[in-house]
Amino acid sequence: MNFTFNAQEYKYASRRRVVHAKRGMVCTSQPLAAQAGLTILQQGGNAIDAAIATAICQTIVEPTNNGLGSDCFALVWTGGKLHGLNGSGYAPQRLTPEAVAASGATEKMPLRGWEAVTVPGAPSAWAELHKRFGRLPFAKLFEPAIYYAEQGYPVSPIVARFWQEGIDALTPYKDNPAIAPWFATFDVHGNGVAPKTGELVTLPDHAKTLRILADSYCESYYRGELAQRLVEFSDKTGGYLSLEDLADYRAEWVEPVHINYHGYDVWEMPPNGHGITALMALNILKGMEIGAKDTGDTFHKQIEAMKLAFADGMHYIADPRYMQTRVEELLSDAYAAQRRALIGETALEPTHGKPFCGGTVYLCTADGEGNMVSFIQSNYKDFGSGIVLPGYGINLNDRGAGFSLNPELDDYLAPRKKPYHTIIPGFLTHEGEAVGPFGVMGAYMQPQGHVQVIMNTVDWLLNPQTALDAPRWQWIAGKEIWLESSVAPEIVEDLRRRGHEVRVLEDDTTFGRGEIIWRDSNGVLAGATEPRADGVVAAW
């Protein structure tokens, strides 16, 4: 018999527990991707191999949030040291403010079309990670993704929802010749209706491209057949990519940045990512008297510190080659004290751009040898720019939307410049030893999620699962904040009395979706992934 049930409805609360293991662990927002990474560990791969395989698999099983045209960032703990890899791309040489203005955009960068596309960095980052730290053959890391692309996979619940939202968002652009091929790839029924939860989906064009990437060590993407096809399609449909833009690109190894927060070192990637926004907020908060977790006063102080950090971050963060302000100045204790002094009993109203939630996947891995990876990969908004290379399934990012068109700002669009980037992997250490990776995906929610998760862990000693499950706040703009419906009513009223403009939301997907792996002194791993996404902890 074929037992039928309602795959869309979740009426009653369920509880997740921390998963403990010793030999290895993979946490991410899609169960099949987590299992793909675990399989690599069980076949003799290390945590870096597992992270790459999981990231590649997520381009197939979670195409709503990332793809073969994404960017990524990674923090890798190995050999007693933390390494950073910036896999974000730059603007094509021909993508200038004048070109964007000629397309009709003069005040704000577009989210769709070629003006939003930067050179994708993820395939280069996969190769660079493997060259430096991988163990298994590179092509083996593609096997799970190729299998699901060719043989099919059942769509998970949150992905099904985001898929429909993506179709709805891109339908107004259907007549754009650059975006029309997206529908041939992702409108799988051809009628504007996304695949349902549990429905099998195949992505054969993706499988073809994955095989080319596996066989060429991703070289084809930047200096081979795929590069040729990308540029031909760009030229045909009014794009800006050139062969030189692709050939000159490589993911870049960088030094992570950190602050000490109550005895723990919290690590983030340096700009062009906005990880320092989380560090600036924590720097302000560490000098304040913080009481019990679930009080209006605690929420108020967290929110006000976050506002001040965002006001600075959105003004100063850019490609580091163009920043006029040094990261060290923004993270100094003296500057944190200046900002802290502005926080009183009522809501502030700093000026900044309006945050919104985006399309990103986060994953973390660990193995029995002590290696750990914090990895994040993203299109940006929904399915990205809406541009798909016909016949290849390469869905290009819209990271160019992170640029400013204000020439007075450091993030002003320029050729070969990297944009302000919202995706941020995090890592925690204590006295020089790794505690582990953590992350909360969701565009401008990300640093806000990092602050809340770290305080839940360090200040209130919550276990990883409880730290992720805890009710969240999100600052939106001015005095406007959003709260999850699980926040206590007395906190809601306290914040309103302090002048915050509060909205309580039933939908929790806008409050980030995160994962954590902590390692104790005995080498035991404790992993968690939250109910705001489809994720699981795969471990052995």
pLDDT band of residue 4 (cuts 50, 70, 90) is low
The whole-number pLDDT of residue 87 equals 97
pLDDT, one tens digit per residue, over 30-58 is: 999 999 999 999 999 999 999 999 999 99
> What's the average model confidence in pLDDT over 497-503?
95
- How many whole angstroms separate alpha carbon 534 and alpha carbon 473? 21
Give pLDDT, residue 442. 73
Does residue 466 carry a pLDDT above 70? yes
User: What is the pLDDT at residue 126?
Assistant: 98
Cβ contact 482:505 at 8 Å: yes
Q: What is the mean pLDDT of the chain?
A: 92
* pLDDT tens, residue by residue, 91-128: 999 999 999 999 998 889 999 999 999 999 999 999 99
More confident residue, 535 or 413: 413
360 is catalytic: yes
Q: What is the mean pLDDT of residues 464-493?
A: 92
Q: Residue 422: is its pLDDT beyond 90?
A: no
pLDDT at position 356: 37
Helices (H), 62-203: 97-102, 122-133, 143-151, 157-170, 180-186
CB of 364 closer than 8 Å to CB of 387:
no
Give the span between the Cα atoms of 402 and 111, in whole angstroms.
Answer: 9
CB atoms within 10 A of CB 20: 13
**How far is 530 from 225, CA to CA, in rounded Å?**
40
Q: How far is CA 284 from the centre of its chain?
A: 24
Residue 147: what are its φ and ψ, rounded to 5°?
Answer: -60, -50
State pLDDT tens for residues 171-218.
999 999 999 999 999 999 999 999 999 999 999 999 999 999 999 999
Domains of the chain listed by start with CATH number: 33-252+358-402 (no CATH), 254-349+424-514 (1.10.246.130)
Give the pLDDT confidence score for residue 16 in this predicted structure: 85
Confidence of residue 325 (pLDDT cuts 50, 70, 90): confident
Which tokens belong to 80?
Answer: 């007693």
In whole angstroms, give the CA distance from residue 236 to residue 221. 18
Residue 378 to residue 365: CA distance in whole angstroms:
18
Residue 402 pLDDT exceeds 80: yes
Q: What are phi and psi of 350, to 5 degrees?
A: -75, 160
Q: Is the pLDDT of residue 415 over 80?
A: yes
- The answer to whether residues 112 and 173 touch, using CB atoms and an 8 Å cutoff, is yes
Report pLDDT for 9: 63
Question: Taking a C-beta distance cutoff of 8 angstroms, is the pair 34, 346 a contact?
Answer: no
Catalytic residue selected from 54, 360, 365, 457: 360
Q: What is the DSSP string of 41-58?
A: HHTT--HHHHHHHHHHHH
- Average pLDDT of the residues in 131-156: 97
Q: What is the pLDDT of residues 242-300, one digit of tens each?
A: 999 999 999 999 999 999 999 999 999 999 998 999 999 999 999 999 999 999 999 99
Cα–Cα–Cα angle for 274, 275, 277, rounded to 5 degrees: 75
Please, which pLDDT band fits residue 25 given cuts at 50, 70 and 90? very high
Rounded Cα distance, 199 and 196, in Å:
5
The model carries a pTM of: 0.93
Average pLDDT of the segment spanning 478-485: 92
pLDDT greater at residue 325 or residue 495: 495
Q: What is the edge-to-edge ordering of all strands in the sheet holding 359-367? A: 252-254, 81-87, 71-78, 372-380, 359-367, 24-28, 536-539
Q: Determine the average pLDDT of the residues in 224-249.
A: 98
